[in-house]
Structure formats: structure tokens, C-alpha cells
Structure 1
Amino acid sequence: MQKYVIISNDIRNKILNGEYVANQQIPFEKDLCVHYNASKMTVKKALDMLVSEGLIIKRRGSGTFVKDLSADAINRITLANQFRGTTSLYPDKKVYSKVLNFSIEKVPELAANKLNIASDSFVYDIHRVRYVDDKPTVMEKIYMPIDLIPNLKEKNIKGSIYGYIKEELHLNIQSAHRTISVRKATDFEAEELGMEKGDPVAVAEQVGYLDTGSAFEFSTSIHRYDNFSAEFVLTSN
């Protein structure tokens, strides 16, 4: 993941988590360069990304400030942040994957239905465990159409798949339909996630969509009970 993306992810998370509040001035670019050990151009690119997202505003001669966002705007950005992936959510930590399987297979029936693709289509079959600072956090089973997400490599599976989709394929992830349930971990899940047998896990089943409307991902994520949270936005008509 490019350095400016890491920096923008960290600042975005600080805004959404309330570390930087509305109308607060964030550190000057020169101070951010020192903090992130990055060039002025890299920091400027990171800030420009947050300006384009509507999170911050630059005031000539004064500095850069957090925008006073409406509740709707905060909800929109919070939801979008959920689809940036584990690497983006932990920009200050070491995130990597243990790959349990990475192959190209004929799409299973359930995945074909979820992805709305033909039953004779081929998909990436991905099974991995995501580690954050050397601690197993989530086990993911993912199906992605190979014609929609071309040239996916094992290095992308070990790193950030979403990063590859956005930074190298230049595709925009827009939304997801997600269902969350809770059950006991299987013995295999407990072993891979470093838990006791029978410990509870959160199970998130998700279909992800690009801004074209195409479903690019059907995944089932098994989360440790002690490291899972979900954000929801409820609206009424």
C-alpha cells in the first residue's frame, strides 16, 4: 500500500474516532512529514485525498482543519470506511495474511447466486487468516469473479485485496450487503484464531459491490469475539 494512502487512512480514522474533532486544526504539513517519516509531496497527496472526500478543508494562511460535518455526511464516510479493509483500519499496525488456499475454481452454486453470475463461471477461491500485529484476528473465505478482478496474485492475498482493487485496477468499491450472526467456533477456526474450543465467533456474510453495480465479492468472515465490532446506520422514511 502506498505511503500517502497509509497516511490518509490514519488521519481519516482519527477523525471518525473523534481524536480530531470538528473545526480542529490538524498538524502542519511539515509536522506530519516528521510524524509519518514522509516527504512533503506524499503528505500533500494524503491531505488532498481527504479534502476530496470532504473530511478536511484547507484555509489559506491558516492551515488545515476538520470540517464541521453533518450527521448524514459522517454516516456516509463511516460506512465507506468499513469497506476499506483490515489494512486500512489498522494503518499503524502490521497487517498480513496466512494463506490457507488460493485457487481458481468453478463457482459454487451459493456463490453464483450471491454474485449473480453464470453457474459455469470461474472465481478465485480464497481462504486466509488475517493477522494484526502477529495476532490472528479474522478468518476469511472469499469468492471473486476472475473476469471482474483480473490478475490477482498471492502477494495481493497476503496483503490487501481491496488495496489492489482500488490502487492497481482503479475500481471503486461502493457498498455491501452484510449479515451478521454469532455461533460457536469450530475446532479448526478456534485453532487458527488462537481461541479455546467452543469460544463464540461473529460471522459476517457479505456481498460487495463496485460503483458499476457489479458484485465483486462474496465472503464469509469469522471474527474473534474479543476483537469485533460493527457500525450500523438506521434510518426511517
Structure 2
Amino acid sequence: MAAPIYLQIKDQMIEEIQQLSANAPILSERDLAVKYNASRMTVRKAVNELVDEGYLYRDSNKGTFVADERLHKRNTSVDPFAEERPIKYKILYFDIKATSSKDVQDRLFISSEESVLRIVRVAMFEERPQSIEEIYFPRLSIPDEDLGNFKKLLDFNSYIAHGSLSQTFVPIIVPPQYAHLLKLKINTPIILVENVITSKNGKPLLYMKVFNNPNEKVIEMTL
């Protein structure tokens, strides 16, 4: 599935921005619309995201300019969505059952009687564990023919393209069952990243908990 037009334009603009110096002006929305053969609304959406992410900044009545690279927002918390390294994944568990976990019920808007599809996997880089991921889907939202299609189920970008992602960062002690898998000592402090992808109509599509290995993965955010 092709990415939305505004994301394609955004990607092209990022490549061009990287060739420009800080404070260089960019084309007006009208000119960008002509350049990319798109509507001004589509171009505006791409530009707005680039401003939000710190690639560009607006100066009232003067235009839009390239921001200093140090102002670019970075989020290295979730490997499935933006991975810079060749991560390999190994499925550890796969089951379908009702969950007694209150956080899963609350994030997916389901009752304790409703079943969830749970996938647990480890992310590896050069044989070193980066994180453990617990991924939950409402069972009723998954067609039977897709249950074993992990490539499709775990294509997170396809969900985000048609919805939105929210994240919560929680400092915790590594769960005992994951300490050995992450090659960490018991009671090691780690960061848990809770991710909820929601459709445009507000329906939760999936809930994912990422237990990051602090010895391998540094979470960096510039706001």
C-alpha cells in the first residue's frame, strides 16, 4: 500500500532540507503545490508536520525556514515505527484468550470476557537483545485469515497511516520473566513504552508494551 501523498511529499522535503543550511527559506505553499503537483491542503499538512518535528520553523509574515538540525525532534523509543538499524525479531509467544490484565482492557476498550490476540517478541541487533514487545489486538478486529499472517499484523506503519499513535513512558523494574531474555540483572531499572494505535474514529487498533534494554537502546526525545 502506497504511503499517503502528504507523507511522500514530506519525505522528499526532508531530503531537500538536509541539503540546505539553517535559516534558509523554503518555497511558499503555492509554489510547493505546483512543484509536487498536489493541493495546497496536502502540502500544508506535510509542512505542518515538518514544523512540528522541528525541521522547519515559521516566522510570522516572513515565511517558513529551515531549522537548525539540533532542533529536530527525535523519538527512538519504538523500533517498529522508525528503525535505523537492521533489527531482527523472534516471536516468543502467540496466543488468543481473554485477558485479566486491566491495562490491556482499558487501552483496548474491551471487557474481561473478550478475547485478545497476544504476540510477544524480542528485538535483536547483532545477537544483542534490544527490547521485548508485548502486542495486543482485540480478537474481534482480526479476520480469521489474518491470524497467522504476522507480516501483515505487525505492519504498524499501515495502522498509523490511517490512525494515530499515542505513547506513555513509564520507569519500571525489569519484569523477572524478561530479565534473562534482555540479559539484565534482576531489579534493573528500565523504561517501559506503552503504545496505543487508534483509528480515526477513535477505536483502538492495538496496544503494545515495549520493555527497552537500557544497555542497548537509549530513548532520546527533543520537544
TM surpasses 0.5: yes
Give the direction of change, closer, same or farther, for the CA distance of 1:145–1:9 in structure 2 (3 Å limit). Answer: farther
Instruction: Indicate yes or no: 2:184 matched with 1:183.
Output: no
Contact kept? 1:100, 1:128, Cα under 8 Å: yes
Partner deviation per Cα, 1:179-200 (whole Å, 9 max, x = no partner): 41132452x4232223345433
The structural deviation recorded for 1:104 is 2.1
Partner deviation per Cα, 1:142-184 (whole Å, 9 max, x = no partner): 2111333542522346xx4303435xxx632x13251411324
Contact kept? 2:81, 2:156, Cα under 8 Å: no
Structure 1 distance, partners of 2:210, 2:16, is 25
Instruction: Indicate yes or no: 2:94 matched with 1:102.
Output: yes
Structure 2 distance, partners of 1:138, 1:12, is 29
Give the direction of change, closer, same or farther, for the CA distance of 1:231–1:204 in structure 2 (3 Å limit). Answer: same
The structural deviation recorded for 1:210 is 2.5
Structure 2 distance, partners of 1:191, 1:177, is 26
Aligned with residue 162 of structure 2, among 165, 171, 178:
171
1:137-156 counterparts in 2 under 5 A? 137-150=130-143, 151-152=146-147, 153-156=149-152
Instruction: Indicate yes or no: 2:197 matched with 1:208.
Output: yes
Q: Which has the higher contact order (CA 8 A, sep 6+)?
A: 2
1:68 is matched with 57
Contact kept? 2:174, 2:211, Cα under 8 Å: no
The structural deviation recorded for 1:98 is 0.9
- Percent identity between matched residues is 16
Instruction: Indicate yes or no: 2:183 matched with 1:194.
Output: yes
Structure 2 distance, partners of 1:220, 1:127, is 9
2:32 is matched with none
- TM-score with structure 1 setting the length: 0.57
Aligned with residue 122 of structure 2, among 125, 129, 138:
129
More helix by proportion, 1 or 2?
A: 1
The structural deviation recorded for 1:217 is 2.4
Moved more, 110-119 or 93-102: 110-119
The structural deviation recorded for 1:99 is 0.5
1:217 is matched with 206
Unpaired runs of at least 5, structure 1: 26-43, 57-65
Give the direction of change, closer, same or farther, for the CA distance of 1:202–1:11 in structure 2 (3 Å limit). Answer: farther
Contact kept? 2:196, 2:204, Cα under 8 Å: yes
> What is the DSSP-based 3-state SS (H/G/I as helix, E as strand, rest coil) of the residue aligned with 2:137?
strand
Residue correspondences, number:
187
- TM-score with structure 2 setting the length: 0.60
